[in-house]
RNA sequence: GAUUCCGUAGCUCAGCUGGUAGAGCAAUACACUUUUAAUGUAUGGGUCCUGGGUUCGAGCCCCAGCGGGAUCACCA
């Protein structure tokens, strides 16, 4: 409920005027399209004969009106095309209304049009559509920001405010083509990954988002409630334990792209819901998985960019494998100059103190090592690097290392200083797994609120037997950020989480009272409403003026009867 | 959560030391049949985020709140 701006009122009038002229601003009929603007730009020069009778549709994005002929730009899903429209071409005979009134006055930037005609090249060499027929497809009653670009591609009146761009992504996508490109790339990344997995014969599956036990990761969940079962449920923080159940069930390879939900802080790399891809392949280990990930990432990058070396921020990153492999302890040795491999908890705590890393009593050995790693190593890992062999304490779902006691077979892939993938040789010994869960419970008792919960059904599945398996998780949002050169997660999510927009118009007690009466009956005769409101003359007057002033209510006078109605 | 910056026309932004609210684009009107950030002339358009306070006077100063960005902390 908001007062309309001058331009919004103007556009609503244009809509009415179109109707009065017998033109439906929102026609029901489909509009046949036989080409896209992208196709025209790409192929017209070589196949001019194919573009003599074309039909396109899209938004009117700019107009240059000159007397009885005009230029404009129409934007479809693939791009923009200049069009040239002459009064006498679209208005045969004496009636020039379609050009003089409809095109010049009643249409505006943002309106959807259908255009028919033929392609030609202007004197200045721009491929354009010579319009012979113009159809209104949808009238826009809210003015779109007009973003201008000069010959060098400089943007002049950008739609740049992040808040508005994220809240009104539809506008962002309409006026900022590079934003649209990012999301197309995101979709293509997922498509390519899916193709790779399918080509290997692995099965795409779906597992529960509502879970009674939130397992598979260390994070705080969103909780909800099922009414019929009258039980608490959680939005999943991970799907790992369900995918492993499917491996137990006999699938050789299963993968899932899906949203995960974590009830934690938000920043440029964290959104409460995010997309992950998890895959589990039987009879494999994490060495095999490293080779698979290299091939996957290399192929995806090649398909998206046509090459494997791309620029991310200030860095040139080579995505072609093989990637460097470095154990967790070696990486700390290399970048921090300290050998922590033999240290106990007290020793690690001392190292942290020397490095100025804050620690607390809830931190176990694994977490301390991770802190040192995060502080000293992570940011240095620019080119794709596998960090392998993590301390057992921080990884309750991975198998113990085949040769190194105290470690597990796990790797994380780091690129540009950020983690983008995480993988294990999966723990399939049910007795070991139960002990690991019990260790997690001990951590929880120490106050670690992210320690993993015991999942009895998952343990039962393991007891039936799970084949040796390797599993991998990739953060799709982060991979997309990397491959589209974006530094905030909001730029790769269509609708990033936001606080609710603006509160409703505030009303006084008297105004609220009248508003409630109007909700029950509207329109209503003003005398009746005043009677029901039971306010003093003065209060009634002030409240009514308030409501009309806020655009909530409207007073109409027809002859002798005055009625009040709600404005929607 | 902490720190810090920001919120003014449909959009992008000015607004000095507190003194009647400005520009470009967009809109409206007129002119113009190959323009392209079209052009020329004229016109209209404001809850200066909200609520308090100080003051003769607040877009500007003070307090509180709302929303957003950046940095830090936690997490992926």
Report pLDDT for A505: 47
Residue numbers 242-261 of A with CB closer than 7 A to any atom of strand B: none
Report pLDDT for A342: 84
Would you place residue A387 in the very low, low, confident or very high pLDDT band (cuts 50, 70, 90)? very high
Report pLDDT for A561: 64
Answer whether residue A533 shows pLDDT above 60: yes
pLDDT cut 70: percent of chain A above it: 88
Q: Which nucleotide is closest, CA of A71 to its C1'?
A: B35
pLDDT in tens, A424-478: 999 999 999 999 999 888 877 777 767 788 899 999 999 999 999 999 999 999 9
Other beta carbons within 10 Å of A418:
18
**Could you give the CA distance from residue A276 to residue A261 in angstroms, rounded to a whole number?**
10
Tokens matching residue A290 = 């490293």
Other beta carbons within 10 Å of A373:
20
- Give one DSSP letter per residue of A246-290, joined into a string: HHHTT-SEEEEEEEEE--S--BTTB-SEEEEEEEEEET--HHHHH
**Could you give the CA distance from residue A211 to residue A217 in angstroms, rounded to a whole number?**
13
Residues A96, A17: contact at Cβ < 8 Å?
no
Beta strand A324-327 with A385-391: parallel, antiparallel or unpaired?
parallel
Q: Assign A544 to helix, strand or coil.
A: helix
Residues A426, A244: contact at Cβ < 8 Å?
yes
Q: Which nucleotide is closest, CA of A420 to its C1'?
A: B76
The answer to whether strand B lies under 7 Å from the CB of residue A270 is yes
Judge whether A516 is annotated as a binding position. no
Report pLDDT for A345: 82
The mean pLDDT of A534-548, rounded to a whole number, is 59
Tokens matching residue A5 = 């701006």
Report pLDDT for A43: 94
Q: Which nucleotide is closest, CA of A412 to its C1'?
A: B76
Residues A260, A216: contact at Cβ < 8 Å?
no
Report pLDDT for A520: 53
Report pLDDT for A442: 83
Cβ neighbours of residue A564 closer than 8 Å, sequence gap 6 or more: A518, A522, A523, A524, A525, A526, A529, A544, A553, A554, A555, A556
Beta strand A469-475 with A553-558: parallel, antiparallel or unpaired?
unpaired
**Could you give the CA distance from residue A407 to residue A352 in angstroms, rounded to a whole number?**
20
* Protein CB footprint (7 Å) on chain B nucleotides: 1, 9-13, 24-29, 31-39, 44-47, 50, 66-76
Inter-residue long-range contacts of A420-423, CB under 8 Å, 24+ positions, other chains counted: A420/A474, A420/A475, A420/A478, A420/A479, A420/A482, A421/A293, A421/A472, A421/A473, A421/A474, A421/A475, A422/A472, A422/A473, A423/A286, A423/A289, A423/A290, A423/A293, A423/A470, A423/A471, A423/A472, A423/A473
The answer to whether strand B lies under 7 Å from the CB of residue A366 is no
Give every strand in the sheet of A231-235, ordered side by side.
Answer: A210-211, A231-235, A223-226
The answer to whether strand B lies under 7 Å from the CB of residue A269 is yes
Q: Which nucleotide is closest, CA of A164 to its C1'?
A: B68
Residue numbers 39-68 of A with CB closer than 7 A to any atom of strand B: 62-68
How many C-alpha atoms does A241 have within 13 Å on its Cβ side? 29
pLDDT cut 90: percent of chain A above it: 64
The answer to whether strand B lies under 7 Å from the CB of residue A563 is no
**Could you give the CA distance from residue A476 to residue A290 in angstroms, rounded to a whole number?**
18
Residue A322: is the preceding peptide bond cis (ω within 30°)?
yes
Answer whether residue A223 shows pLDDT above 70: yes
**Could you give the CA distance from residue A514 to residue A530 in angstroms, rounded to a whole number?**
8
Report pLDDT for A239: 94
pLDDT in tens, A111-155: 999 999 999 999 989 999 999 999 999 999 999 999 888 877 778
The answer to whether strand B lies under 7 Å from the CB of residue A4 is no
The Å distance, CA of A366 to C1' of B51, is 50
Report pLDDT for A566: 55
Query: What does the longest C-alpha to C-alpha distance in chain A come to?
Result: 96
The mean pLDDT of A106-115, rounded to a whole number, is 96
Report pLDDT for A252: 95
Q: What is the ipTM of this complex?
A: 0.90
Give the H/E segment covering residue A135.
strand A127-138
pLDDT in tens, A471-482: 999 999 999 999
Would you place residue A337 in the very low, low, confident or very high pLDDT band (cuts 50, 70, 90)? confident
Answer whether residue A506 shows pLDDT above 70: no
The answer to whether strand B lies under 7 Å from the CB of residue A449 is no
A353 compared with A273, residue with greater pLDDT: A273
Answer whether residue A206 shows pLDDT above 90: yes
Judge whether A438 is annotated as a binding position. no
Q: Point out which residues pair with A327 in neighbouring strands.
A: A388
Cβ neighbours of residue A74 closer than 8 Å, sequence gap 6 or more: A37, A56, A57, A58, A59, A60, A61, A80, A81, A83, A113, A115, A129
How many C-alpha atoms does A224 have within 13 Å on its Cβ side? 12
The answer to whether strand B lies under 7 Å from the CB of residue A437 is no
Query: Which residue minimizes Cα–C1' distance to B35?
Result: A71
Would you place residue A395 in the very low, low, confident or very high pLDDT band (cuts 50, 70, 90)? confident
The answer to whether strand B lies under 7 Å from the CB of residue A14 is yes
A93 compared with A226, residue with greater pLDDT: A226
Report pLDDT for A1: 38
| Among A258, A382, A378, CA closest to A317 | A382
Report pLDDT for A452: 81
Q: Which nucleotide is closest, CA of A275 to its C1'?
A: B76
Report pLDDT for A526: 74
Q: Phi/psi class of residue A58: alpha, beta or left (left: φ > 0; alpha: ψ in -120 to 50)?
A: left
pTM value? 0.86
Report pLDDT for A540: 62
Residues A58, A82: contact at Cβ < 8 Å?
no
pLDDT in tens, A247-284: 999 999 999 999 999 988 888 899 999 999 999 999 99
Residue numbers 485-524 of A with CB closer than 7 A to any atom of strand B: 488-490, 496, 498-503, 505-506
**Could you give the CA distance from residue A285 to residue A292 in angstroms, rounded to a whole number?**
11
Answer whether residue A188 shows pLDDT above 80: yes
3-state DSSP of A38-57: HHHHHHCCCCHHHHCCEEEE
Query: Which residue minimizes Cα–C1' distance to B29?
Result: A105
Average pLDDT, chain A: 88
Would you place residue A504 in the very low, low, confident or very high pLDDT band (cuts 50, 70, 90)? very low
């Amino acid at each position: 409920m908001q007062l309309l701006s001058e331009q919004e009122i103007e556009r609503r009038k244009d809509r009415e005027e179109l109707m009065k002229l017998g033109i439906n601003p929102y026609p029901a009929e489909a509009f046949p399209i036989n080409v896209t603007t992208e196709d025209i730009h790409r192929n017209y020069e070589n196949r001019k004969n194919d573009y003599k009778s074309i039909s396109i549709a899209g938004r009117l994005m700019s107009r240059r009106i000159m007397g009885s002929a005009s230029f404009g730009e129409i934007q479809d899903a693939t791009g923009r095309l200049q069009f040239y429209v002459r009064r006498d071409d679209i208005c045969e005979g004496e009636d020039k209304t379609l050009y003089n009134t409809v095109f010049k006055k009643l249409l505006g930037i943002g309106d959807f049009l259908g255009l028919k005609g033929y392609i030609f090249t202007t004197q200045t060499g721009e491929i354009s559509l010579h319009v012979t027929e113009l159809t209104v497809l949808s009238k826009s009653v809210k003015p779109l920001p007009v973003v201008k670009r000069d010959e060098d591609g400089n943007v002049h009146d950008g739609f740049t405010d992040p808040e508005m761009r994220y809240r009104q992504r539809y506008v962002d996508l309409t006026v900022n083509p590079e934003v649209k490109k990012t999301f197309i790339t995101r979709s293509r990344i997922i498509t390519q990954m899916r193709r790779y997995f399918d080509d290997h014969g692995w099965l795409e599956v779906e597992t529960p988002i509502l879970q009674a036990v939130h397992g598979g990761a260390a994070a705080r969940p969103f909780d909800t409630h099922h009414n019929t079962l009258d039980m608490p449920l959680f939005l999943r923080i991970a799907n790992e334990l369900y995918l492993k159940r499917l491996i137990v069930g006999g699938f050789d390879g299963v993968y899932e792209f899906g949203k995960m939900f974590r009830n934690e802080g938000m920043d440029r790399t964290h959104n409460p819901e995010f997309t992950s891809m998890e895959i589990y392949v039987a009879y494999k280990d994490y060495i095999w998985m490293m080779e698979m990930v290299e091939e996957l990432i290399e192929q995806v990058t090649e398909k998206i960019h046509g090459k494997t070396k791309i620029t991310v921020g200030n860095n040139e990153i080579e995505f072609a494998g093989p990637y460097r492999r470095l154990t967790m302890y070696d990486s700390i040795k290399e970048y921090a100059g300290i050998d922590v491999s033999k240290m106990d908890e007290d020793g690690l705590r001392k190292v942290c103190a020397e490095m100025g890393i804050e620690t607390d009593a809830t931190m176990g050995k694994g977490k301390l090592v991770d802190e040192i790693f995060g502080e000293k190593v992570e940011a240095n890992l620019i080119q794709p690097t596998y960090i392998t062999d993590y301390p057992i304490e921080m990884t309750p779902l991975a198998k113990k290392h085949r040769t190194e006691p105290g470690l597990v077979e796990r790797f994380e892939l780091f690129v540009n200083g950020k983690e983008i993938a995480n993988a294990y040789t999966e723990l399939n010994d049910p007795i070991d797994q139960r002990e690991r869960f019990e260790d997690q419970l001990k951590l929880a008792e120490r106050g670690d609120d992210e320690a993993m919960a015991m999942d009895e059904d998952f343990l039962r599945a393991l007891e039936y037997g799970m084949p040796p398996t390797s599993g991998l998780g990739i953060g799709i949002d982060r991979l997309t950020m990397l491959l589209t050169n974006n530094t905030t997660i909001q730029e790769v999510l269509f609708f990033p989480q936001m606080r609710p927009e603006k509160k409703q118009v505030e009303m006084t007690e008297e105004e609220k009272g009248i508003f409630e009466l109007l909700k029950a009956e509207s329109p209503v005769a003003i005398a009746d409403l005043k009677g029901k409101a039971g306010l003093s003359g003065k209060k009634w007057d002030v409240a009514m003026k308030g409501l009309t002033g806020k655009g909530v209510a409207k007073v109409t006078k027809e002859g002798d009867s005055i009625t009040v109605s709600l404005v929607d």
